[in-house]
Amino acid sequence: MSLSRDQIAKRVAQELQDGFYVNLGIGIPTLVANYVPTDMEVMLQSENGLLGMGPYPTEDNVDADMINAGKETVTAVTGASIFSSAESFAMIRGGHVDLTVLGAFEVDQNGNIASYMIPGKLVKGMGGAMDLVAGAQNIVVTMTHADKRGNSKLLASCSLPLTGVDCINKVVTDLAVMKIENGAFHLLERAPGVSVEEIIEKTAGKLIVPEFVPEMSFE
């Protein structure tokens, strides 16, 4: 069975470590915040200038001046700091964020990512995505393994305009966990009940498959 969005988020949450500063993109990455292990603390960075993003506010404490990078109203946790956009991206560009999780249209075997622009459609802009992929040492991309027509999104070479080059280390899809190294995807785990064959079939880029591929564990 392919994973649900929440299950993908839950699997990504296993990449967290106590004391990590983490930037979560819009969509599935945002859900990761719901699965931070209870014995662990992480600080969420929002690139509009907030380190220590908290939950959404109650109706009583909504404040138009407290939003996240997705323009949603949020709160700040105890220990949070607020700063300018230049400072926020100094943090990101300077490699100080421990883990960045974001979505993508395509990822390729060389760690390139395409996530912001589909030619022919209106270009809305890259926002902070290019800075995030260029700055982070440790990036996890979350996406479905293939698009709705069954075309693989894990390619030999991205077909869409790139957001960044040679920057993605790890991909968590609805079917598998893979790392990217030396010009290939390396299959690390498969979703419970998903066959290695299905993953091979839906991966267009070079895929290295070890002898034994464990199922993801969610206990």
Least distance in angstroms from the C-beta of 111 to other proteins? 11
Indicate whether 49 belongs to the interface with other proteins (CB under 8 A): yes
Least distance in angstroms from the C-beta of 45 to other proteins? 7
Q: Which of 38, 120, 122, 193 binds other proteins (CB under 8 A)?
A: 122
With contact defined as beta carbons under 8 Å apart, do 57 and 74 qualify?
yes
Indicate whether 161 belongs to the interface with other proteins (CB under 8 A): yes
**219 in active site:** no
Indicate whether 214 belongs to the interface with other proteins (CB under 8 A): no
How far, in whole angstroms, is CA 138 from its chain's centroid?
Answer: 10
Indicate whether 37 belongs to the interface with other proteins (CB under 8 A): no
State how far the Cα of 95 lies from the Cα of 165, in Å rounded to an integer.
16
Indicate whether 35 belongs to the interface with other proteins (CB under 8 A): no
Least distance in angstroms from the C-beta of 90 to other proteins? 4
Least distance in angstroms from the C-beta of 209 to other proteins? 28
State how far the Cα of 109 lies from the Cα of 205, in Å rounded to an integer.
6
Q: Which of 15, 41, 47, 201 is catalytic?
A: 47
Least distance in angstroms from the C-beta of 133 to other proteins? 8
Binding mask 63-92 for other proteins (x = CB under 8 A): xxxxxx-xxxxx-x-xxxxxxxxxxxxxxx
Q: Which of 1, 4, 5, 125 binds other proteins (CB under 8 A)?
A: 125
Q: Which of 62, 192, 195, 201 binds other proteins (CB under 8 A)?
A: 62
Q: List the Cα angle 66/70/74 in 5-degree steps.
A: 30
Q: Which is nearer to other proteins, 84 or 195 (CB)?
A: 84
> What distances in angstroms separate CA 48 from CA 23, 24, 93, 127, 136, one per listed residue?
11, 12, 14, 10, 17
Q: Which of 15, 27, 103, 126 binds other proteins (CB under 8 A)?
A: 126
Q: Which is nearer to other proteins, 76 or 188 (CB)?
A: 76
With contact defined as beta carbons under 8 Å apart, do 212 and 190 qualify?
no
Q: β-pairing, 154-155 with 207-208?
A: unpaired
Backbone angles phi, psi at 111, to 5 degrees: 80, 10
Q: Please spell the DSSP secondary structure of 125-174, one letter per residue.
A: --TTHHHHHHH-SSEEEEE-SB-TTS-BSEESS--SPPSBSS---EEEES
Binding mask 129-148 for other proteins (x = CB under 8 A): xxx--xx-------------
Q: Which residues are catalytic?
A: 47
